[in-house]
């Protein structure tokens, strides 16, 4: 697969399932995977005149992975890859803290979580301070340290999500070309520039894509397609050794559509005998869209958001576990094969010792 960068020229608009003009602020921080997949497939299927000249059903079989945001240099090349903030990280007044699967049996307690073996996730040592805001994206150099050893010292600065830019529009009467009275509505796009620099959208695909300027997303705003000179990161050796030892954390790099809502039915195709021990999942995201082949709206679906973390104990022998970890890295692992082709559920792996952590006695008193 080739790696491409979409370098935004205009603020990009990607809807979030709500109707335009409802008074709500529409606009995602990053587009859903199916939108990026559609852009890549459309780019391949257009002829020299810009008209569609391909088979829609065949286009849907082209695999696309992404979006993977990236901090760009002035020439549009990738300075550093960015990934969503992990849901097992919590910033408190005293610094960054790690959320862990807790062993309540030491207190003689049980939770009401679904599944007999599912453990709650929380702080092992109590801290009464309020959580502090964190930036939406982490640099790979920061995330690599968190995935390999969350207790290693080091500052996590992160990168802010692209800022929202709201625009006011008026509907036009097609018969007269005049503005319709009272037909004002607003849209909100994302200006893909932060104080750290420009943010591009990366993707991997086998589609045949021509570099250059093309429309993308709602209102056909423009992006520059560039082939990335910097490859996506590979799995750290510490993480692969953790998989060999029988336990990992799975971090969603892109949202995942799962048959059981937040819970993966196929368990990311982990080796037979693998068990889900705990999960830290954010608020569900809703995706919909428009099917150009049928000229109809797509049904709304809920996704486990990017950044969600799943704690797995792996089955199989050490060879099978390492082989799975190497193959799963940044590969879409949603429950449906169709959603995987669209890029849903791309995963990163993190080290974990596979043990439940007994909460400190001070935690119980809070």
Query: pLDDT-derived band of residue 266, with 50, 70 and 90 as boundaries?
Result: very high
Residues 276 and 326 in one domain: yes
| 8 Å CB contact between 286 and 242 | no
Helix (H) or strand (E) holding 348: strand 347-351
**Which among 227, 259, 281 is the end of a domain?**
227
Kindly report the average pLDDT of the chain as a whole number: 87
Assess if residue 177 is contained within a domain: yes
Assess if residue 364 is contained within a domain: no
Assess if residue 152 is contained within a domain: no
Residues 202 and 334 in one domain: no
Distance, CA of 310 to CA of 330 (rounded, Å): 15
Residues 212 and 130 in one domain: no
Residues 20 and 70 in one domain: yes
Residues 127 and 204 in one domain: no
Number of domains in the chain: 2
pLDDT digits (tens, 9 = 90+) for 123-133: 888 888 888 88
Assess if residue 165 is contained within a domain: yes
Question: Of 54, 115, 81, nearest to 262 (Cα)?
Answer: 115
Q: How many CB atoms lie within 10 A of CB 100?
A: 24
More confident residue, 139 or 180: 139
What average pLDDT does range 54-59 have in this prediction?
84
DSSP states of 91-151: EETTEEEE-EEB-GGGGT-----SSTTPPPEE-SS---SPPPP--SEEEHHHHHHHHH-TT
Distance, CA of 86 to CA of 143 (rounded, Å): 8
Residues 8 and 72 in one domain: yes
pLDDT digits (tens, 9 = 90+) for 317-343: 999 999 999 999 999 999 999 999 999
More confident residue, 96 or 364: 96
Residues 64 and 194 in one domain: yes
Residues 206 and 121 in one domain: no
Residue 14 has pLDDT above 80, yes or no: no
**Which among 227, 244, 267 is the end of a domain?**
227
pLDDT digits (tens, 9 = 90+) for 153-162: 678 889 998 8
Structure-token pair, residue 346? 């791309």
* pLDDT score, position 363: 58
What average pLDDT does range 228-243 have in this prediction?
95
Assess if residue 190 is contained within a domain: yes
Our CA angle for 241, 272, 306, nearest 5°, is 65
* pLDDT score, position 366: 47
Residues 179 and 262 in one domain: no
Residues 29 and 177 in one domain: yes
pLDDT digits (tens, 9 = 90+) for 23-49: 444 556 788 999 899 889 888 887 777
Question: Of 80, 124, 74, nearest to 98 (Cα)?
Answer: 124
pTM confidence score? 0.91
Q: Is the dihedral angle over the CA atoms 357, 363, 365, 366 positive or is it negative?
A: negative
* pLDDT score, position 254: 96
- Of the chain, the percentage scoring pLDDT greater than 70 comes to 93
Assess if residue 153 is contained within a domain: no
Residue 222: which residues within 8 A CB-CB, separation 6 or more? 8, 9, 10, 213, 214, 215, 216
- Residue 293 sits in a domain of what CATH number? 2.60.40.4350
What average pLDDT does range 173-191 have in this prediction?
83
Distance, CA of 342 to CA of 320 (rounded, Å): 27
- Of 177-181, 271-275, 290-294, 306-310, the poorest mean pLDDT is in 290-294
Residues 256 and 337 in one domain: yes
**Which among 174, 202, 227 is the end of a domain?**
227
What average pLDDT does range 5-27 have in this prediction?
69
What average pLDDT does range 85-106 have in this prediction?
89
Assess if residue 360 is contained within a domain: no
**Angle, in degrees to the nearest 10, between helices 237-245 and 318-328:** 140
Assess if residue 366 is contained within a domain: no
What average pLDDT does range 253-264 have in this prediction?
93
HSE-up of residue 140 (Cα within 13 Å, Cβ side):
18
pLDDT digits (tens, 9 = 90+) for 345-361: 999 999 999 999 888 77
Residues 189 and 335 in one domain: no
Domain region containing 180? 2-82+160-227
């Amino acid at each position: 697969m080739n790696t491409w960068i979409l370098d935004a020229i205009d603020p990009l608009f990607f809807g979030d399932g709500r109707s335009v003009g409802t008074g709500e602020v529409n606009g995602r921080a990053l587009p859903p995977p199916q939108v990026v997949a559609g852009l890549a497939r459309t780019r391949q299927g257009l002829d020299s005149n810009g008209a569609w000249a391909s088979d829609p059903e065949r286009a849907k079989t082209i695999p696309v992975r992404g979006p993977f945001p990236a901090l760009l240099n002035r020439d549009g090349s990738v300075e550093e890859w960015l990934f969503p903030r992990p849901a097992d990280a919590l910033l408190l007044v005293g610094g960054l803290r790690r959320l862990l699967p807790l062993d309540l049996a030491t207190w003689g307690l049980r939770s009401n979580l679904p599944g007999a073996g599912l453990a709650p996730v929380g702080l092992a040592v109590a801290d009464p301070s309020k959580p502090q805001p964190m930036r939406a994206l982490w640099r790979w150099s920061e995330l690599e340290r968190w995935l390999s050893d969350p207790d290693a010292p080091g500052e996590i600065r992160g990168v802010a999500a692209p800022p929202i830019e709201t625009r006011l529009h008026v509907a036009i009467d097609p018969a007269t070309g005049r503005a319709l009275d009272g037909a004002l509505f607003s849209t909100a796009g994302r200006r893909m520039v932060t104080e750290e620099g420009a943010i591009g959208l990366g993707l991997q695909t086998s589609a045949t894509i021509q570099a250059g300027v093309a429309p993308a997303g709602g209102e056909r705003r423009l992006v520059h397609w560039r082939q990335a000179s910097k490859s996506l990161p590979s799995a750290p050796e510490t993480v692969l050794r953790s998989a060999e030892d029988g336990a990992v954390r799975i971090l969603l790099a892109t949202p995942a559509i799962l048959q059981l809502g937040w819970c993966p039915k196929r368990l990311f195709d982990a080796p037979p005998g693998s068990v889900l021990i705990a999960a830290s999942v954010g608020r569900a995201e809703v995706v919909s869209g428009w099917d150009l082949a049928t000229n109809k709206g797509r049904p709304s679906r809920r996704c486990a958001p990017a950044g969600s973390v799943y704690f797995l104990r792996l089955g199989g022998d050490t060879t099978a576990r390492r082989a799975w970890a190497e193959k799963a890295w940044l590969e879409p692992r949603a429950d449906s094969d169709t959603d995987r082709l669209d890029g849903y559920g791309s995963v990163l792996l993190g080290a974990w010792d596979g043990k439940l952590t007994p909460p400190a006695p001070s935690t119980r008193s809070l």
